[in-house]
Amino acid sequence: MPSNSPSHRPAENAMQLTGAQALIKSLEMEGTEVMFGLPGGAILPVYDPLIDSSIRHILVRHEQGAGHMAEGYAHATGRPGVAMVTSGPAATNIVTPLCDAYMDSIPIVVITGQVAYSVIGTDAFQECDTVGITMPVTKHNWLITDANDVPRVIREAFHVATTGRPGPVLVDMPKDVSNQMMDWHWPDAVDLPGYKPNMKGHPKQIKDAARLMGESERPVIYAGGGILKARAAEALKELVELTRFPVVTTLMARGSFPDDHELCLGMPGMHGNYTAVTSMQKADLLIALGSRFDDRVTGKVSTFAPDAKIIHVDIDPAELGKVRRPDVPIVGDCRLVIEELVKAVKAERNKREWPSLETWHRQLREWQERYPLRYEQLEDGPLKPQYCVDMLRDNTPDDTIVVAGVGQHQMWTSQRWTFNYPYTYINSGGLGTMGFAVPAAIGAKVGKPERMVWAVDGDGCFQMTAQELVTASAERIPVKVAILNNAYLGMVRQWQELFYEERYSEVYLSPDLPDYVMWAEAMGCAGFRVDTPDDVVPTIEKANEIDDRPVVIDFRTDYREKVYPMVQAGMSNDDIILDPAHDTYGAR
């Protein structure tokens, strides 16, 4: 059982530390440069040695913010994000980011305080079964019961979060364990006998995949977020240029293959563009790389890509066959597998000629020309949200990091931004967490201070976590936020309009309440309002010049605008609905 030594007792010699000191030192050993958090009783002993640590701590206003900041940091840098909060309500406040990170495979390490181990089970003040609650939304979690275990557990936590399929982990630290003395030691290696992610794909399956690729006349590479997680963007490009196979990039993979490349078809899925969606439907071969056949991509599974053979590459064996049975399943790290695939393709090509893709390429170009994304911004008409996104895209540096909330604005951003670099688009794909954008943008800016970071947020989303702009102001983190303020929970309104006979139940928010400019200013930010198309670019330019505090632009957009194309939930991708302004519906 842990002892109850006081937290302020200094280490007797270099080797004697409290559990709390050991925790901070272990985080330093893991290279933690920044952590996001908020203290409280149970985690107080750990906040004390933080004063003497090299780790920068960013004090959030709500624990959900800390979790999303850690996610944004991890997305942008590829390094694990770290958050630390106290027990009870603090721990439950961070469950949403944990679940978000779990769904999107984001490596974050969350430390929670816990009531003393000796009183667990007594309903002590702020006691909460944190490991129980977070078990289904973490890759792994630990309750530390002895301070001597701290270094080992932290090493394991970082290892598990960042290897294999990345994901969130949680370490629950009881207060008496934080106060217990231990002999400092740092394990040389991680020893987790049951945990051995399979990195290298099986050579025979890679050969089979190359053979299948050599038989295809209508191939599509279906690139998912795993490409980014595996740092496989370069390898993907090599494979594409070698095969001339077209590529769709899912919501989580935007930027993993440059949008300005002639073989990039853009985003598939519920709000994907016509060509990306239809290319998959008509394909005879789908090469799924780090993608998970999400229902937002497949539509009704039984009608998804009916003629396609499937090559599925994923680091997580549980993904293979989860939704669609692959003809060639390959378990492995996307980068390593693609590199091997490139070699296997070269070998196959030396053996015989591959089918010409000319007809397929011509068909794709025809669809692209016939069914582009469209909207119309009249000179004196209401401000179109798509126009705001286009102007942001065209008036910011190419490598700007863009973070979106969840809703219509997220879809317009995903559709319209030209992502030519990996790690430039951050959003909540799996869980679809409103309130993600502001804190995730702050985390991204902390990780990449030299880059411009713009959050494109909805007015509904913004109201969920806007208070983190106080954090950003206090910490001098100059993020920029564009609110596409349509006065509604727009995406819900869109569904009500299309599928509930325009019965708008509980979706109206108001354009003026709150006053976003005053709110921004009250939080230490610069605030601007834009009502007309003419004002869009000058205001973006003004915002771009401000670098000493966060900026918020309240774009008053047309509430009637809808996101098209659209595949209705549960329907087939063949039934894609185009903007009614297109002359044909579906055009099959």
**Which residues make up the interface to ligand TPP (CB under 6 A)?**
405-409, 432-434, 458-461, 484, 486, 488-492
- CA-to-CA distance for 318 and 447, rounded, in angstroms? 31
Give the nearer residue to ligand TPP in terms of CB position, either 310 or 483.
483
- CA-to-CA distance for 557 and 533, rounded, in angstroms? 10
Q: Beta 264-266 vs 247-249: how paired, if at all? A: parallel
Residue of 139, 175, 229, 445 marked active site: 175
CB-CB neighbours of 549 under 10 Å: 17
Compute the half-sphere exposure of residue 205: CA atoms within 13 Å on the CB side of its CA: 18
Give the nearer residue to ligand TPP in terms of CB position, either 61 or 409.
409
Nearest distance in Å: CB 331, ligand TPP: 32
Could you tell me if 477 and 440 are in contact, meaning their C-beta atoms sit under 8 angstroms apart? no
- CA-to-CA distance for 283 and 582, rounded, in angstroms? 24
Nearest distance in Å: CB 435, ligand TPP: 6
Nearest distance in Å: CB 362, ligand TPP: 36
Question: Bridge partners of 484?
Answer: 458, 555
Structure tokens at 394: 């065209």
Concerning whether 494 is annotated as a catalytic residue, the answer is no
- What is the Rg, in whole angstroms, of the alpha carbon atoms belonging to the chain? 25
Instruction: Tell me which residue has tokens 């005879």.
Output: 284
Could you tell me if 119 and 127 are in contact, meaning their C-beta atoms sit under 8 angstroms apart? yes
Nearest distance in Å: CB 486, ligand TPP: 5
Structure tokens at 498: 């299309």
Nearest distance in Å: CB 97, ligand TPP: 11
Give the nearer residue to ligand TPP in terms of CB position, either 328 or 461.
461
Nearest distance in Å: CB 436, ligand TPP: 9
The CA dihedral of 153, 333, 422, 472, to the nearest 10 degrees, is -10
Residue 580 one-letter amino acid: P
Give the nearer residue to ligand TPP in terms of CB position, either 434 or 470.
434
Give the nearer residue to ligand TPP in terms of CB position, either 68 or 175.
68
The conformation of residue 164, written as its DSSP 8-state character, comes to S
Concerning whether 410 is annotated as a catalytic residue, the answer is no
Nearest distance in Å: CB 256, ligand TPP: 24
Give the nearer residue to ligand TPP in terms of CB position, either 396 or 408.
408
* E-state strands within 274-374: 285-289, 309-314, 328-331
Burial class (CB in 10 A: 0-12, 13-18, 19+), 304: buried
Give the nearer residue to ligand TPP in terms of CB position, either 169 or 489.
489
Give the nearer residue to ligand TPP in terms of CB position, either 379 or 506.
506
Concerning whether 175 is annotated as a catalytic residue, the answer is yes
Residue of 491, 496, 562, 566 marked active site: 491
Residue of 28, 29, 126, 238 marked active site: 126
Concerning whether 408 is annotated as a catalytic residue, the answer is no
- CA-to-CA distance for 297 and 328, rounded, in angstroms? 20
Which candidate, 524, 271, 541, 310, places its Cα nearest to that of 406? Answer: 271
Residue of 63, 156, 339, 561 marked active site: 63
CB-CB neighbours of 173 under 10 Å: 29
Nearest distance in Å: CB 488, ligand TPP: 6
Concerning whether 340 is annotated as a catalytic residue, the answer is no
- CA-to-CA distance for 145 and 110, rounded, in angstroms? 17
Nearest distance in Å: CB 190, ligand TPP: 35
Give the nearer residue to ligand TPP in terms of CB position, either 445 or 562.
562
Residues 6+ apart with CB under 8 A from 477: 58, 442, 445, 446, 471, 550
Structure tokens at 255: 């930027």
Could you tell me if 128 and 87 are in contact, meaning their C-beta atoms sit under 8 angstroms apart? yes
Q: Supply the residues annotated as catalytic.
A: 63, 125-126, 175, 491
